[in-house]
């Protein structure tokens, strides 16, 4: 095994997407079941705004700001910041939105001494600073690099370069995992080997990641 570190995006990779947790969101917001109809990658043909984002007509933040406005209106509030949507739907029980596949893979990675890092564009911006305190597994990460503070967003090459530098490794020593294609391309451009995480197939994505690290997905 020649890889020494795994760099993970947070939203979509470690946590389930908002699309996957509409039931939890509707409960948290006091909305009737089925009120939230946008499904992003789970039904892209029915989500024109998602298609626009994937085609780089709008940014990811543009997408979520529009959804924030819409959901705010549904609950009778005027929301102007994405964190208002995220914190209202996910703040009370953050462990419920963490992927079980991630937690399983984490145990394998820990047992094999792989260095772990998070490279996120908006971890604290979207979730709030208290969110991290509720996730005990974050202590296993030697580095959390968040563009909320660095203001250098993926796919800017500086984001990946800074992450690798702080890990005291070279790009060839690391695997990078993200669910957004543009971020994968940015990582590849600086020499990182990547897994384009498929939110439709999380177990396979983690299994593929472990394989690149010379590890195997063991049965639960």
Where exactly are the structural domains of the chain? 5-16+98-212, 18-93
Own/partner pairs, 48-55, CB within 8 angstroms, 24+ separation: 54/181
pLDDT, tens digit (0-9, with 9 covering 90-100), for 73-109: 999 999 999 999 999 998 778 889 999 999 999 999 9
| Band of residue 220 on the pLDDT scale cut at 50, 70, 90 | low
Of the candidates 147, 18, 142, 146, which has an alpha carbon nearest to the alpha carbon of residue 91? Answer: 18
Residue 47: what pLDDT?
A: 97
Two tokens at 29? 């917001």
pLDDT, tens digit (0-9, with 9 covering 90-100), for 30-39: 999 999 999 9
Tell me what the mean pLDDT of segment 16-42 comes to. 96
pLDDT, tens digit (0-9, with 9 covering 90-100), for 44-57: 999 999 999 999 99
CA distance 139 to 111: 15
Considering only residues 133 and 167, tell me which one the structure prediction assigns the higher pLDDT: 167
Two tokens at 176? 């990078």
CA distance 19 to 42: 8
pLDDT, tens digit (0-9, with 9 covering 90-100), for 150-159: 999 999 999 9
CA distance 69 to 80: 7
CA distance 67 to 53: 12
15 pairs with which residues across the strands? 11, 98
> Is 214:3 a contact under the CB 8 Å cutoff?
yes
pLDDT, tens digit (0-9, with 9 covering 90-100), for 169-203: 999 999 999 999 999 999 999 999 999 999 999 99
Tell me what the mean pLDDT of segment 120-135 comes to. 90
Fold of 5-16+98-212: Rossmann fold (3.40.50)
């Amino acid at each position: 095994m020649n890889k020494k570190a795994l760099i993970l995006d947070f939203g979509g990779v470690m946590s389930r997407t908002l699309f996957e947790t509409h039931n939890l969101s509707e409960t948290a917001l006091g909305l009737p079941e089925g009120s939230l109809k946008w499904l992003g990658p789970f039904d892209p043909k029915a989500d024109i705004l998602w298609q626009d984002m994937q085609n780089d007509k709008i940014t990811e933040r543009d997408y979520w700001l529009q959804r924030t406005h819409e959901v705010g209106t549904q609950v009778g509030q005027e929301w102007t910041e994405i964190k208002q949507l995220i914190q209202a739907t996910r703040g009370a029980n953050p462990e419920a939105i963490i992927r079980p596949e991630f937690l399983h893979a984490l145990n394998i990675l820990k047992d094999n001494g792989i260095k772990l890092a998070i490279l996120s564009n908006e971890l604290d911006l979207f979730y709030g600073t208290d969110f991290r305190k509720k996730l005990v597994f974050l202590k296993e990460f030697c580095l959390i690099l968040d563009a909320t503070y660095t203001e250098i967003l993926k796919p800017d090459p500086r984001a990946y370069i800074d992450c690798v530098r702080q890990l005291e490794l070279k790009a060839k020593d690391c695997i990078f995992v993200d669910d957004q294609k543009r971020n994968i391309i940015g990582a590849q451009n600086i020499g990182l080997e990547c897994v384009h995480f498929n939110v439709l197939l999380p177990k396979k994505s983690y299994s593929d990641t472990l394989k690149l690290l010379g590890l195997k997905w063991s049965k639960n």
